[in-house]
Amino acid sequence: MKKSENPEISVIIPLYNKEQFILETISSVLKQTFTNFELIIVDDGSSDKSLELVKKIKDDRITILEKLNGGVSDARNFGIKRSNGKWIFLLDADDMLYKVALETLMNLKKKFPGKLVYTGNFCTLKSNGLLLQCKERFEGVVNNNPKKIWLNKVFPRTGNTLLSKSIFNKIGYFNSKISYFEDMEFNLRFIEGFKIVYTPIPIFVYNTTSSDLSVNWRPLFKEFSYYATFKGFSFYSKLILGRIVYFSLLTRLILKDKTSVYYLLKRYFFNLFYVLCSMLLGKILKVYR
């Protein structure tokens, strides 16, 4: 299909060694019922056949950008800064959009104009099938964003969220130092300051089966928990941060990484209440859901 000179949406996919999934992901974008978009694929130094496969696709809406490996956050920023759309839609290279995903979000924007963030539900693909993630059933402007996100009522993330390009001028881009929980670091910068509009219609399928289920070692400085601060956030945003620190601690305990465990406990000693509270309340909520 011919490329639009003035695309409404820029769909941006950071790509690194996803040869098994990237073609299906791209196909799900190109089949969208809403067609006024550009698809920017940022190859972040892939060493497999990912880039080779993408280059074989003949569609004028696709722009391929190549760069040295710098991590997923750096790749997203690279694509955003070179995009032409008024709206940004970020998608991972192993996830799949529902056919009406972009149309659903654009319709939501028409119903509730003037906002900078529009998000929807999503499904998780597990070995036993699809699981709908967000519990909220209403459509409209979300009140108390951090509370709804912590309770899993609403969850804006890559793959289900339409962002005004202007938001990056207001709050900055992704932190290129971070490759794990980087989307939550970015989200925490806008969930308290901007109204979010939500629809319970699922937007995409989050592919957990493509991930390695084992816990692999990675440098702690690549994680959000290495840099996170609780200062200035509301109670529920602190619970979200507490959950992230808890998962990081759990990972480091499994890896028997005593140095990182000590660092995290020392750094967040005065905020362990939120870490423990998030863990305990989360388990209680699972029982009563």
Q: Are strands 37-43 and 62-66 parallel, antiparallel or unpaired?
A: parallel
pLDDT of 36 strictly over 90: yes
**pTM for this structure?**
0.91
Q: What confidence score (pLDDT) does residue 56 get?
A: 96
pLDDT of 99 strictly over 80: yes
> What does the pLDDT look like over 249-282, one tens digit per residue?
999 999 999 999 999 999 999 899 999 888 787 6
Residues contacting residue 140 through CB under 8 Å, at least 6 positions apart: 112, 197, 198
Give the integer Cα–Cα distance in Å for 127 and 17: 22
Give me the percent of the chain exceeding a pLDDT of 90. 73
> What does the pLDDT look like over 153-180, one tens digit per residue?
899 999 999 999 999 999 999 999 998 8
Instruction: State how far the alpha carbon of 116 is from the alpha carbons of 123, 140, 169, in Å.
Output: 23, 13, 12
Q: Closest Cα to residue 110, out of 84, 87, 135?
A: 87
Written as six digits, the tokens of 187 are: 């989200």
CATH fold, domain 9-207, is: Spore Coat Polysaccharide Biosynthesis Protein SpsA; Chain A (3.90.550)
Q: What confidence score (pLDDT) does residue 213 get?
A: 41
What average pLDDT does the segment 90-119 reach? 97
**Every domain of the chain and the residues it spans:** 9-207, 220-288
